[in-house]
Chain A
Amino acid sequence: MTKNKETKRIVFQSESEMPVTAMSLGSMLYNKTGAWRNIRPEVDRAKCIQCGICWKFCPDASIDIVDNWPVVDYDFCKGCGICAEECPTKCIVMVEEVK
């Protein structure tokens, strides 16, 4: 499944156009939480067995499966490290962000 990466910001001009509650305002598309990250997960495909456990455990849906490989979405990954912790072959390693 491909992600909708449309980042056009929704801004309603009037309350009457808005839903009754904070629902599908699209704010999580442009609020790129990846900037919060201190350490980044990197996948070593040589060790990856394509089990999908990282995809299942990611609490922020920031791992996509592309052609059976896990691909980290660095726009949104906050670097929590759960994928690296859960990976049975330890093919995911957390690397310090240096910028």
Chain B
Amino acid sequence: MKKVIMGNHALSYGAMLSRAQVIAAYPITPQTQVVELLSEMCASKTLDAKFIKVESEHSAMAASLGASLAGARTFTATSAQGLALMHELLHWASGGRLPVVMGNINRAMAPGWSIWTDQNDSLSQRDTGWIQFYCSSNQEVLDTVIQAFKVSEKLLIPSMVILDAFALSHTYEIVEIPEQKDVDAYLPPFNPPYRLTPSDPHAFFGLTGPEHYFELRYKLQKDMEKVPALIEETGREFERIFGRSLGLVDEYMCDDAEFLFITSGTAGYTARVAVDDLRREGVKAGNFRMKVFRPFPFDKVRGIAQKAKKVAVVDRNLSYGHHGIFYQEVKSALYGRDGMPPVFGYVTGLGGRDITPGDFKEIYRLASSKNTPDEEIGWIGVKR
């Protein structure tokens, strides 16, 4: 069935169709409608789940961890300051190997108070051991929630499904709502190898000395390394059932691209328009939208980048004192390998300033005029 829904409700429908059993959340703009609709679904029994109201995001994640440890499929959602308040518990989720799935609406961090989009909130949680999916359409949001549960529960690693504030969260699009029976066929009930239960008591997350901690972290990394292949495998399975592909990356005219944009989120969709315009002008441009940022899709990035003559990474985020964060990571993936093109980095759209096709064309013009990137950040659209 097709419906016209906002990105936030795409998250809610994703959680509903995944048959989430516990939802613990605290409202924050621009995330509120996600849990508002889920609370209505719980109240009307459309969704047979326990909805736990809490007094903060820290508690929302704490309740989610308890529920997940008890063996319940658990969903929550937040944004910006709320995500930051969860920070400590995000480590507990991944270290505890609890496959919670969380929606995060990318909102710029205060101050000044902003409710508009950029990626610094989720990228500040880069090293917490969560899988990070950056979405660019409402359909992708809904589909990814279902896939995220499947991937997370198989490898016991939590997932963040991330979408831009307003550009997706409050934007209505036509979304195909999958049939429940098809989702059930794709996503079996959560059956963790261990859980908090009186019939098989265990002490969880107790003191772990230097003789064991290192190995537990090694195991987390080893399982994280299995995520890319599992995303591709479960993406193919998703396509067989639902007819829509879900991959690690989204390649648009990359095969013969000489000038390659590397993008993410909704800006990664805008870039397609710029690629079409540039192609009409005779420029062999392509757009490589990175959907999964953690774990980093090294093989995909290297494979596509090495075919291009120039790469421009476009960041809606900034690591102060360094560069855009996707830019740093793309450079690090290509460093020390033969035949890699120069990589240019651009920062734009912070705090929800629009990123237009014209901005991408400006990036093309700037990068075309140089053989090697400058040390200084490529600022696009800043008033100076």
Contacts and interface: CB of A to CB of B under 8 A. Distances in A.
Interface string B211-243: 111011011000100000000000000000000
A20 B219 contact: yes
Contacts of A27: 206-209
Q: Which of A12, A22, A27, A31 has the most CB of B within 10 A?
A: A22
A88 B160 CA distance: 49
A18 B223 CA distance: 14
A-side binding surface: helix, strand, loop or mixed? loop
Contact of A28 (B95, B206, B215, B218): B206
Q: How large is the interface on A (under 10, 10 to 19, 20 to 34, 35 or more residues)?
A: 10 to 19
B1 interface: no
Contacts of B193: 20
A22 B156 CA distance: 13
B93 to A, nearest CB: 11
A21 B68 CA distance: 14
A24 B203 contact: yes
B219 A15 contact: yes
A46 interface: no
Contact of B216 (A14, A18, A28): A18
A20 B220 CA distance: 8
A23 B192 CA distance: 14
Interface of A: 11-12, 14-15, 18-25, 27-28, 31
Given A12-B211, A23-B203, 14 more contacts: A11-B212, A12-B212, A18-B216, A20-B193, A21-B204, A21-B216, A23-B204, A23-B205, A24-B202, A24-B204, A25-B206, A25-B212, A27-B208, A28-B203
Chain A to chain B: the 3 pairs with minimum beta-carbon distance, closest first: A15-B215, A27-B207, A21-B97
